[in-house]
Structure formats: structure tokens, C-alpha cells
């Protein structure tokens, strides 16, 4: 892909990868302002088959409540 924007979502699922970016996007991937039930990005948001142009910021972890705009 060229550019991936994943933002302002409420994700569900525990004990599994919720966002997986495969490969390296040309412009970049931005995963931000999402509500995620995992305690941290580790295990919830991953990049496989390469690394780079991968940005994770301003997500709320440990919740499936309404979408947040700032980290807890």
C-alpha cells in the first residue's frame, strides 16, 4: 500500500492482533486515536514482513469505550 490511515475506531478482541500491517507502506501507516482493549500496543498493533513507515500514537489502551482523542 501507499498510505494507510487507521484512526478513530473502537476495536474489540482480547488476546489477538487487532491491526496488522504487512510490509512497508510507501508513504506510511498511521494508527492513531483508537480505543483498544489491550493494555498496550504490544501484541495489538504489529507490522510484519518488513519495518518502517509505521506510526502508532495517541491511542487509548485498556478500553472498548467510546473513541478517545488523547492517551490515557
pLDDT single digits (tens) 20-66? 999 999 999 999 999 999 999 999 999 999 999 999 999 999 988 87
What pTM value is reported for the model? 0.86
Could you count the other beta carbons within 10 Å of the beta carbon of residue 1?
Answer: 12
Give pLDDT, residue 35: 93
Distance from the first to the final alpha carbon of the chain: 30
Q: How confident is the model at residue 69 (pLDDT cuts 50, 70, 90)?
A: low
Amino acid at each position: 500500500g501507499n498510505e494507510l490511515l487507521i484512526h478513530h475506531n473502537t476495536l474489540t478482541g482480547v488476546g489477538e492482533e487487532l491491526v496488522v500491517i504487512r510490509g512497508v507502506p510507501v508513504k506510511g501507516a498511521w494508527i492513531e486515536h483508537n480505543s483498544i482493549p489491550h493494555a498496550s500496543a504490544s501484541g495489538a498493533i504489529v507490522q510484519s514482513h518488513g519495518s518502517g513507515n509505521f506510526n502508532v500514537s495517541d491511542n487509548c489502551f485498556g478500553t472498548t469505550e467510546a473513541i478517545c482523542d488523547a492517551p490515557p
